[in-house]
Amino acid sequence: MTTVTESGTDAERPAAVGRGAADDERLRRWRMVLGADSAESTGCTLTGQDAAMDGALNALYGGGGRPGSRGGSERSAGLGTSAPSVARWLGDIRTYFPSSVVQVMQRDAIDRLGLSALLLEPEMLEAVEADVHLVGTLLSLNKAMPETTKETARAVVRKVVDDLEKRLATRTRATLTGALDRSAKINRPRHHDIDWDRTIRANLKNYLLLPGGDGAGTVVPERLIGYGRAAQAVKKDVILCIDQSGSMAASVVYASVFGAVLASMRTLRTRLVVFDTAVVDLTEQLDDPVDVLFGTQLGGGTDINRALAYCQSQITRPADTVVVLISDLYEGGIRDEMLKRVAAMKASGVQFVTLLALSDEGAPAYDREHAAALGALGAPAFACTPDLFPEVMAAALEKRSLPIPDKETHQ
């Protein structure tokens, strides 16, 4: 049996007597969760990698009295304000934690400790784990970024954009190509526009044997299927109208990537418009979503009415146009005019889609009154994940009901 001295400095405390491996592991986990101030109460001393992980966590979450702090009131966050110390900390967390956790900790460091300014240094950017949220932060710092940092920042943004395109592009093109083919199908084609392969397949049930007894027969084409002569010409126009207020950062990133994918499809004519209180048409940069992103300016006010007025002026084929408004609907412009524009576009035949967010961040904050007003016009507003976006666009192109994900989060 382990003895305990009066000073309590023996290797084991009384609480550890008779404790099994499962209990030790449970105490270790609680010690990691609760932080350094729990060392005495848990009777657990961390060593090796556990101690290093605890140090990295305590540097960020050990802030005295801050919301969510792990430490006590006398402790303060330990990252300091120097780039070298933060760079070392970034290296540590990438060593000890998986990428998804690293991204969360980076966001928390930026939010809790005000480290945004340090991202203006190239050495810092090279040390971070790149993700959509980091791109949003960099875009918000774009105007303050020195030229020496911009090249590194573009490389970080490029990596994220390339990863997103690899994940989203193939499925998006396949889904929308199918939707465009179905929307273009005609059942009374001219003779030279008949798609004979599909027509024969659709009429096999009408096969008739010819007289003569030699087994020869013919298909009676009761229903002809074909495509217009301009099958490879532009079939639909798409206008992406994106709110670039600060709260929409992740949506701006995803929308820019999708805009580039849509622009690469010859059968779509895609226009990308971003707005705050001003309106900027970035269509000419759509061949490179990184250029689009650095053409945005996150933050500022919001004038949805002005943005929709510009989009409305660009519509030349209402019945073949889809307008996608991506905004949390906190309108700083003229509300009634905004709603009148949406109603007018829908009356002319435009398919109007309102996305409260285009991201994986969960239920967004949004103006419920404006969302309800749009819903009353037949333009339901809902949040959309990047994986669902191709299906939403396919439904809009085919003029069928939108696949709204959760009836409780839209109007």
Torsion angle defined by CA atoms of residues 105, 109, 110 and 116, in that order, rounded to the nearest 10 degrees: -120
What are the tens digits of pLDDT across the range 74-83? 334 456 555 5
Give the span between the Cα atoms of 138 and 119, in whole angstroms: 8
Q: Average model confidence (pLDDT) for the chain?
A: 79
Per-residue pLDDT, 362: 74
Per-residue pLDDT, 66: 38
User: Which of 235, 226, 170 has the alpha carbon at shortest distance from 200?
Assistant: 226
Per-residue pLDDT, 213: 63
**What is the number of alpha carbons within 13 Å of residue 371 lying toward its C-beta?**
21
pTM above 0.75, yes or no: no
Per-residue pLDDT, 197: 76
- 39 pLDDT band, cuts 50/70/90, is low
Q: Kindly list the distances between the CA atom of residue 141 and the CA atoms of 257, 272, 316, 364, in Å, as whole numbers in the listed order.
A: 20, 22, 37, 23
Which stretch of 29-33, 275-279, 366-370 has the lowest confidence by average pLDDT? Answer: 29-33
- 384 pLDDT band, cuts 50/70/90, is very high
Please check the confidence at residue 73 and state whether its pLDDT lies above 60: no
Q: Are 256 and 225 in contact (CB under 8 A)?
A: no
Per-residue pLDDT, 254: 95
Q: Which string of DSSP letters, residue by residue, matches 272-332?
A: EEEESSSEEE-GGGTT-HHHHHHT----S---HHHHHHHHHHT-S-GGGEEEEEE------
**% of residues, the chain, pLDDT over 70:** 79
The values of phi and psi at residue 64, to 5°, are -65, 115
Per-residue pLDDT, 69: 40
Give the span between the Cα atoms of 93 and 88, in whole angstroms: 9
Per-residue pLDDT, 109: 79
- 354 pLDDT band, cuts 50/70/90, is very high
- 315 pLDDT band, cuts 50/70/90, is very high
What are the tens digits of pLDDT across the range 124-140? 787 778 888 888 888 88
Please check the confidence at residue 32 and state whether its pLDDT lies above 60: yes
Please check the confidence at residue 1 and state whether its pLDDT lies above 50: no
Per-residue pLDDT, 259: 95
Please check the confidence at residue 339 and state whether its pLDDT lies above 80: yes
Per-residue pLDDT, 199: 78
Give the pLDDT mean for 11-21. 50
Amino acid at site 3 = T
Per-residue pLDDT, 95: 81
Give the pLDDT mean for 92-105. 80
Give the pLDDT mean for 242-255. 90
In terms of pLDDT, which residue wins out, 382 or 335? 382
Per-residue pLDDT, 81: 52
**What is the number of alpha carbons within 13 Å of residue 245 lying toward its C-beta?**
21
